[in-house]
A and B are shown apart, each in its own frame.
Chain A
Amino acid sequence: MRLSHSVGELGIPFVERYIDWAKHHTWFFPDGRKVHELSLKNNELVLPRWVKHNLGEKDIKEKILQNALFIEKEEGYDIYLVRYYPKNNENLKKFNEISYSEIPSDWSGTIDIYGFSDYHIQSFLVEEGKLTKKGVYNRKENNKENINTNSQTTCTTYWLDFDYYPIEGGVGSSQSIMVEICYSNLPDGGSSGPPESGGGGTGGNYPGGPGNDKDGMICDANTGQCIPLPGTEPYTSFGFPANPSDGDTFTVTYPDGNQITFTYNQSLDGWLMPEFQGLIDLGYTIDNAHTFPSFNGQLLTLIAWNAALEPTFIGEIIFGSAVIIMSTIYVYDLAKFYFATQDKLSNLEHCMKLYENCIENKPHLPCGKCLGYCDANGYWDSDCPDVMVK
């Protein structure tokens, strides 16, 4: 696949991007949006000149990672470009060693976030895995590289270099634009400043600006969409063990106290819901199991839990040679399942117990209202508190 786009606000005229499908991270933002981070094959990078100074010109394009974030939404994706600039040659990382959601604790450098059309959204300075400062590029004309510092911000002016290809597949030429960036400290960030330059030139230049963040999120003014800051802990597997063995069980406790115990099936590489495991225990087998793909730690169930989840048909469960078809098997993505069911599996029993106590101990309270609230939310209302006290 190749991505085409228009000229960005900084005037960086890249026309196409090629995805390297072999390099792929997937996770969920804390709000449940699924994210695919994919490596971009091409080498047409935006290169701040301080990076060249710090890393040296040799093989520099191999030292910088340039990825695209595809964030699933109701229809289609929001797309961002993310560039990871190491502070120096001691901070070089491979694709599988760093991602937007997992910044290694030993990594220092800059993370630049761009919109799909290469307009700059935000830069972050990272010191040993922690975001310390943020800023936004502003284009400058006829300026010299310099640094201005006051107690709140450090403003830096420097060159951004990039390759320009006037014709697809043609010969490129190096182009440059001058930008200013004013870095401000992040509330929980350290006091460390920008990475020091490897020598000469701009001498430790690092960019900054007012920032496009809103309530701790990075927001794209062009689309109105926001994403969490780099390194925000992803919503991964709500506690499922990372490397389970066959037969391992894991119990998920929902916020309302309801529990489901899943059993890991190694041959399918999936977590079986109780009703599924129950049939396996009784001697049922899965028809054509050998033809199934690895389910990569997803949930397998015999019940279509929620139409909104769009269950995927994967096969049938049978009893030995009698070939009694028991049920269709569905597969669910762990996090999608969790987000879709955390309210749905509300603990009716729990709410009923409290309702009965309410009627018994507090007949003057509108107990029906409390039951309604409990059914809707999975917990007892703060306004119906002391149902245990007569």
Chain B
Amino acid sequence: MNKLQKELINLFRNIISLSDQDALEKINEFKKLNSSWNDDSETEELLLHKEGLYLYRLNRLEESIKIYKGLIQKENNKKNTNFDILGTHYISILKSLFAMGKLNLVNKLSNNILKNYNFSWGTNLSILTYLIKSNSGTNLHKYINKINEIERNMGTPINLHENSNNKVLFLEKEFRRANQEFSNIIFEKNQNLLKKKLENYIKHEKVGFFRNQAQNYLNSLNRNSI
């Protein structure tokens, strides 16, 4: 971990306990005091992302959207655009538009994004969910390949008779649940307890993707303890 990364982590960790307004001020102070991030694109973008996030939390939604639009433009101008980063910024914009109650815009933008980009299945799942949240009657037929890809990667048993909208909402709910349960387990500090929790999770988890992750983690723990 380099010095800048350490400083950045300290900043992000410290602002968690602050009010959103104070956190935003700290980010801006950091930007002014540390010029070193100017030649570190990832750091600059992370700071901008955090700024956008706190603006969102402060209901300064237009300002938040403006920051994410800038980040999208930046990413698009790169030689090797990272489409998942692009997708994440789009999700942040959808979140703000949704909070503003601009459901028509959310619907339109979600459709455009899905038509024009091929993101990872996790990102697609989020955007499809916004599409449905903005209009429950949206026909998802044209995204059936993306939905199938999500289903395949998640490895979740699902009722074949479910319509596409319900399927996406179900998958998103399951993804959040399984992800959260897995994340809670991996922060267990007691190694023996951690292994037990992982074994139990592997036994019961229906979402194959996280079951496999848990298995990989358990394997690595067992390897290291030999």
Residues of A whose CB lies within 8 Å of any CB of B are 29-33, 74, 187-188, 214-217, 219, 224-226, 228, 255-257, 306-308, 340, 343-344, 348-350, 352-356, 359-360, 363, 366, 368-369, 371-373, 375-383, 385-386, 388-390
The residues of B that contact A359 with a CB separation of less than 8 Å are 1, 5, 9
The interface size of chain B toward A, counting residues with CB under 8 Å, comes to 64
Residue of B nearest to A361 (CB): B220
Q: Which of B27-35, B109-117, B159-167 lies on the face that meets chain A?
A: B159-167
Verify B99–A215 contact, CB threshold 8 A: no
Known: A369-B85, A372-B49. A352 touches B176 (CB 8 A): no
A215-B164, A373-B84, A376-B126 given; name 10 further pairs at CB < 8 Å: A29-B136, A30-B136, A215-B137, A217-B137, A257-B184, A307-B59, A343-B95, A376-B53, A377-B88, A388-B186
Verify A215–B165 contact, CB threshold 8 A: yes
Known: A32-B133, A255-B176, A381-B123. A389 touches B220 (CB 8 A): yes
For the complex of A and B, 3 pairs with smallest distance between CB atoms:
A226-B137, A382-B122, A215-B163
The residues of B that contact A381 with a CB separation of less than 8 Å are 84, 88, 120, 122-123
Known: A215-B164, A378-B176. A354 touches B216 (CB 8 A): no
The docked-state distance in angstroms from the alpha carbon of A300 to that of B9 is 35
The docked-state distance in angstroms from the alpha carbon of A111 to that of B49 is 50
The docked-state distance in angstroms from the alpha carbon of A349 to that of B56 is 17
Verify A366–B42 contact, CB threshold 8 A: yes
Give min CB distance, B99 to chain A, whole Å: 5
The residues of B that contact A255 with a CB separation of less than 8 Å are 173, 176-177, 180
Chain B 186-226 interface mask (CB, 8 Å, partner A; 1/0): 11000000000000000000000100010011001000000
Verify B166–A379 contact, CB threshold 8 A: no
Of A33, A214, A348, A352, chain B has the most CB atoms within 10 Å of the CB of A348
The docked-state distance in angstroms from the alpha carbon of A348 to that of B53 is 10
Verify A219–B137 contact, CB threshold 8 A: yes
Give min CB distance, B78 to chain A, whole Å: 12
Residues of chain B from 1 to 43 with CB closer than 8 A to chain A in the complex: 1, 5, 9, 12-13, 16, 42-43
Cross-chain contact of A214 among B42, B126, B137, B184 (Cβ < 8 A) = B137
Residue of A nearest to B140 (CB): A215
User: Is B82 located at the chain interface by the 8 A CB criterion?
Assistant: yes
Verify B217–A371 contact, CB threshold 8 A: no
Give min CB distance, A218 to chain B, whole Å: 9
Verify A216–B1 contact, CB threshold 8 A: no
Known: A187-B161, A308-B100, A376-B88. A257 touches B9 (CB 8 A): no
The residues of B that contact A385 with a CB separation of less than 8 Å are 213
The docked-state distance in angstroms from the alpha carbon of A216 to that of B50 is 39
Verify B82–A366 contact, CB threshold 8 A: yes
The docked-state distance in angstroms from the alpha carbon of A382 to that of B164 is 21
The residues of A that contact B140 with a CB separation of less than 8 Å are 215
Cross-chain contact of B126 among A368, A377, A383 (Cβ < 8 A) = A377
The residues of A that contact B128 with a CB separation of less than 8 Å are none
The docked-state distance in angstroms from the alpha carbon of A358 to that of B150 is 24
- Grouping DSSP codes into helix (H, G, I), strand (E, B) and loop, the B interface class, with mixed when no group exceeds half, is helix
Verify B183–A257 contact, CB threshold 8 A: yes
Chain B 33-68 interface mask (CB, 8 Å, partner A; 1/0): 000000000110110011001001101000000000
Verify B175–A306 contact, CB threshold 8 A: no
The docked-state distance in angstroms from the alpha carbon of A359 to that of B169 is 32
Known: A306-B59, A350-B183, A390-B220. A344 touches B46 (CB 8 A): no
Residues of B whose CB lies within 8 Å of any CB of A are 1, 5, 9, 12-13, 16, 42-43, 45-46, 49-50, 53, 56-57, 59, 82, 84-85, 88-89, 91-92, 95, 98-101, 103-104, 120-123, 126, 132-133, 136-137, 139-140, 153, 161-166, 169, 173, 175-177, 179-180, 183-184, 186-187, 209, 213, 216-217, 220
Verify B137–A372 contact, CB threshold 8 A: no
The residues of A that contact B88 with a CB separation of less than 8 Å are 369, 372-373, 376-377, 381
Known: A32-B133, A340-B99. A380 touches B179 (CB 8 A): yes
The residues of A that contact B9 with a CB separation of less than 8 Å are 352, 355-356, 359
Known: A308-B99, A344-B57. A386 touches B91 (CB 8 A): no
Of B177, B183, B217, chain A has the most CB atoms within 10 Å of the CB of B183
The docked-state distance in angstroms from the alpha carbon of A384 to that of B104 is 32
22 contacts between A and B (CB under 8 A): A31-B136, A215-B137, A216-B163, A216-B165, A216-B166, A256-B180, A257-B184, A308-B59, A308-B99, A343-B99, A355-B9, A368-B43, A369-B88, A373-B84, A373-B91, A375-B50, A379-B179, A379-B183, A380-B179, A383-B120, A386-B213, A389-B220
The residues of A that contact B216 with a CB separation of less than 8 Å are 386, 389
The docked-state distance in angstroms from the alpha carbon of A227 to that of B63 is 34
The residues of A that contact B121 with a CB separation of less than 8 Å are 382
Give min CB distance, A273 to chain B, whole Å: 16
Verify A382–B139 contact, CB threshold 8 A: no
Verify B133–A31 contact, CB threshold 8 A: yes
Verify A376–B95 contact, CB threshold 8 A: yes
The residues of B that contact A356 with a CB separation of less than 8 Å are 9
Residue of B nearest to A348 (CB): B16
Give min CB distance, B38 to chain A, whole Å: 16
